[in-house]
Structure 1
Amino acid sequence: MPDSSKEIAVLASVQGAIATPAVIKASRGMSFFGEHSLGWLAVGAVGAVVDRERRGDWLVATSAVFAAHAASVVVKRVVRRTRPDHETVEVHVGTPSKLSFPSAHATSTTAAAVLYGGLTGRRLSTVLVPPMLLSRMVLGVHYPSDVVAGSVLGAAIGGIVRRKLNGRKGRHERQSGRGD
């Protein structure tokens, strides 16, 4: 793990720079949305209902978002790093556990951005991931390395599944004569 005193300094700096009441309120909303990846699972379910032609892909992507979240929880239980606890860091939200590394919110958000972005044809990672990562630090519940590691884990899982979905799409197009 990186030097926690340096990470505490970064965390306190982030809070000092942007933790206004409005930002804290928005961060709490994001925290609620991302808790146990439920918001992202709901988005995937809506995608599966609305995009009937690719319902199977949406269900695979949604399952992968949940799997990314679960992988993050497993890593947390192995690493057992506790959340920031320092007088310079204010905690603005409750958490379901005292474990910090990696951020499950960062993991599931990044996986959702990669996978749902692939299904919608939009670059969602640049829009969704940075605010969620910052929100975890604004709320005082994660070190910077927690959110970076969570995002890397989510990107890896999302990228693997997205490649498989794209490969499956190519096979279907070739089989139907549309891929040439």
Structure 2
Amino acid sequence: MDEHPHGEDAVLVAVQSALAKQPAILPVARGLSHFGEHSLGWLVVSGLGAAVAPARRREYLAAGVGAFLAHAAAVVIKRVVRRPRPSHPAIAVNVGTPSRLSFPSAHATSTTAAAMLLARPTGLPLQALLVPPMALSRLVLGVHYPSDVLAGIVVGAVVGKSVDRVARRAGTVEGGSR
């Protein structure tokens, strides 16, 4: 293997060089990784929202369904594409992963869907607040290529929009999309 990273490997090395040694970056990135594993953090947030905000229960439950479906979609795509995770010697892998498959990032996928769907009941711009840190964390941790993360965001947006449409048609959530 060529000693000098090229393409997406070079991007990962640059991101890690710029950020990984900054105080708190790796612990925060690892925390995001554990939170997003199998979309479990988003399922907990959705369940808690449904429990504490009964008037918005269906919207919170739709967010949980969307996060779960987005994660499932990412897993199916990973098994079809079978792209291995980054492995260049210059890239530090800073967290364990449940599989060796990289494309798309399931963390970026479920986070995007959850952020889109949780924006409705919370009234917050969650896509802008949640997606960039999760996406960047996957690069800092060295477990995804940039294209894995971007594809995950696209898949998550498609799933989130689809769940939102179905929920509105079924009358389980009100109004237009945020």
Assess same fold via TM > 0.5.
Answer: yes
Give me the whole-angstrom Cα distance separating, in 2, the residues matched to 1:112 and 1:68.
Answer: 9
Give me the whole-angstrom Cα distance separating, in 1, the residues matched to 2:24 and 2:59.
Answer: 37
Letter of the 1:12 counterpart: V
Q: Does 2:103 align with 1:93?
A: no
Q: Does 2:1 align with 1:15?
A: no
| SS of alignment partner, residue 83 of structure 1 | coil
Higher fraction of helix: 1
Q: Which residue number corresponds to residue 85 of structure 2?
A: 83
Q: Is the 8 A contact 2:20 2:140 kept in 1?
A: yes
Give me the whole-angstrom Cα distance separating, in 2, the residues matched to 1:106 and 1:74.
Answer: 15
Q: TM-score, normalised by structure 1?
A: 0.88
Give me the whole-angstrom Cα distance separating, in 2, the residues matched to 1:170 and 1:159.
Answer: 14
Q: Which residue number corresponds to residue 54 of structure 2?
A: 52
Greater Rg over alpha carbons, structure: 1
Give me the whole-angstrom Cα distance separating, in 2, the residues matched to 1:170 and 1:18.
Answer: 41
Q: TM-score, normalised by structure 2?
A: 0.89
Q: Does 2:133 align with 1:143?
A: no
Deviations 1:126-164 (A, max 9, x none): 110000000000000000000000011001111122233
| SS of alignment partner, residue 12 of structure 1 | helix
**Aligned residue pair count:** 168
What is the CA-CA distance between 1:60 and the residue it aligns to? 2.3
| SS of alignment partner, residue 81 of structure 1 | coil
Q: Is the 8 A contact 1:91 1:140 kept in 2?
A: yes
Q: Is the 8 A contact 1:66 1:108 kept in 2?
A: yes
Identity of aligned residues (%): 58
Q: Which residue number corresponds to residue 174 of structure 1?
A: none
Runs in 1 of length 4+ with deviation above 6 angstroms? none
| SS of alignment partner, residue 93 of structure 1 | coil
Letter of the 2:155 counterpart: L
| SS of alignment partner, residue 77 of structure 1 | helix
Q: Give 5+ residue unaligned stretches, structure 1.
A: 172-180
Q: Give 5+ residue unaligned stretches, structure 2.
A: none
